[in-house]
Chains A and B, each alone.
Chain A
Amino acid sequence: MSDKLLEIQNLKQYFPVKTGTFSKGYVQAVDDVSFFINRGETLGLVGESGCGKTTTGRTILRLYEPTDGKIIYDGVDVTHVDFKPYRRKMQIVFQDPYASLDARMTVGDIVGEAIDIHNLASSKAERKEKILALLNRVGLNSEHANRYPHEFSGGQRQRIGIARALAVNPEFIVCDEPISALDVSIQAQVINMFEDLQQELGLTYLFIAHDLAVVKHISNRIGVMYLGKLVELTDSKTLYSNPLHPYTKSLLSAIPVPDPKSSREKQRIVLEGDIPSPLHPPTGCRFRTRCPYAVPECAEAVPEMKEYEPGHFAACHRIQEI
């Protein structure tokens, strides 16, 4: 059963920047991105820094007003409506657990703030009970409620961030690089917690990260972004076993695998050059400046997302040939 919880259509997010004294340009952070997420599913979004994956996540939550395109949540177009009711359903966990918690609030108040805003507790006792239940759910003790964020380690802070997101009983959570600031030995704890919470509460995730191994582990489907465009979208196993887009291929081959034997055998496609500026993205296919298969045609037309196998989309002119 496919039951779309969230769908975005042709989403665009341009940020105006000053390029000179009188001239103005636009950073095309997200350009014409469309995908949907089924209820109870995890969609992973990967890409390098500056590819627009975080902006996509934030725009979905209307933390930025979208320049163009539609955000459809549970069948309702929420692109321009009053968003407050939807904040109860859609939440976010941020990347940096050091910067995303107010240092002057106790953990109890950080978690309780959303409960207050949405009037979810009828009495003080109920509010406290709710906060303690949330802290327990993410593996913290009730005594932690009276402490301040600086008293916690990175992994514990991220748990607080998750408890805060869960406070309003959301259906959908954007996880924006939630583990990249954590130590290796702690990452697995947090990943497992995300999986447990999803099972228990039936959550739907948009999981944004640059670590492909982590994204592949947690996601049902994965979208690969490059310079504001979605270049490939498929289920996580297929993406690894049969990547179609040349960028996905090079990304997969660039990942160092913690397995000395296989990395000795692996033929690596090392991409030349750097990511172009999103202020002046290349014409046509945005990847063509670094693509080993680029032909003159790639500079002319923007490749469309096409379905090559059922559920496997990619945007490249030359997929049939390479």
Chain B
Amino acid sequence: MTDQTEALPRGVSRHPFVDQLAKAFRTNKLTWVGAVIFVLIVLVAIAAPLLSPHDPLQQNILHRLKGPGPEFWLGTDAYGRDILSRLLYGARVSLIIGVAAIGSAMVIGSAIGVVAGYYGGKVDLVIMQAMDVLLAFPALILGLIVVAMLGPSMENLIIAISLTAIPPFARIARAPTIVVKERDYIEACRALGYGDLRIMTLHVLPNVLSEILVMGSLWLATAIRVEASLSFIGLGVKPPTASWGGMIREGFENILDNIWLSIFPSLAILLVVFSLNLLGDGLRDAIDPRTRSDA
């Protein structure tokens, strides 16, 4: 019977997910821009101790509120601390909080969404109503409430931001789950006697994962923004630790003396958010259901 079937395509079999990624970078050059900028920022954050020309916490009253110059490239703040060094260390704070918050929101949110979508009915109704209640609060307000209740610290910021991001991930995981669970291969799984947990993790989740990851890259930008906003109103990591939002606020207090204090951290936030949005948009276009080949 072998001779009756046509030949299979040659070459190595690539995972469809790798194909989607490749397509995102091939069809949209801006995806490259976003990815390259973001990877650079991550590398810079990791290498902050090596790259920083000064100690970010070292105060020096003689050098306070200097503009950009040869010794302090981006100038100094009201305590004479080097802005560039603080920016580099601040990137660590922003990224750690963003990645940890979105990472946990992604895991918890998609688990909730897949369970709700897979079981449907009353389970779905109860879970999604709870999510809608959370979703009704703007991210910043909810974060504000949580941090105000728990007190400002890095861990509490992560919890607060993660909490605001769980409902959108639950929503984004639930919708494709409802589509996927109607497919015959899920029915085949049930006919083969697989348990629900196996079906959800091995057969539903991989097929909704790309949607979740796209959301992840876009929400990482949001999380970094929210972190900066909370830091700006004083609910972020405690001083003297450098964080971008905190730096903007400190700069704001001296804005008439040195406008650069607020401008540089603002630009840093802008750059991260911009790169993540480019990356996320590119990925989203690549997995658009209308152009998906495996739908």
| A and B held together in a complex | no
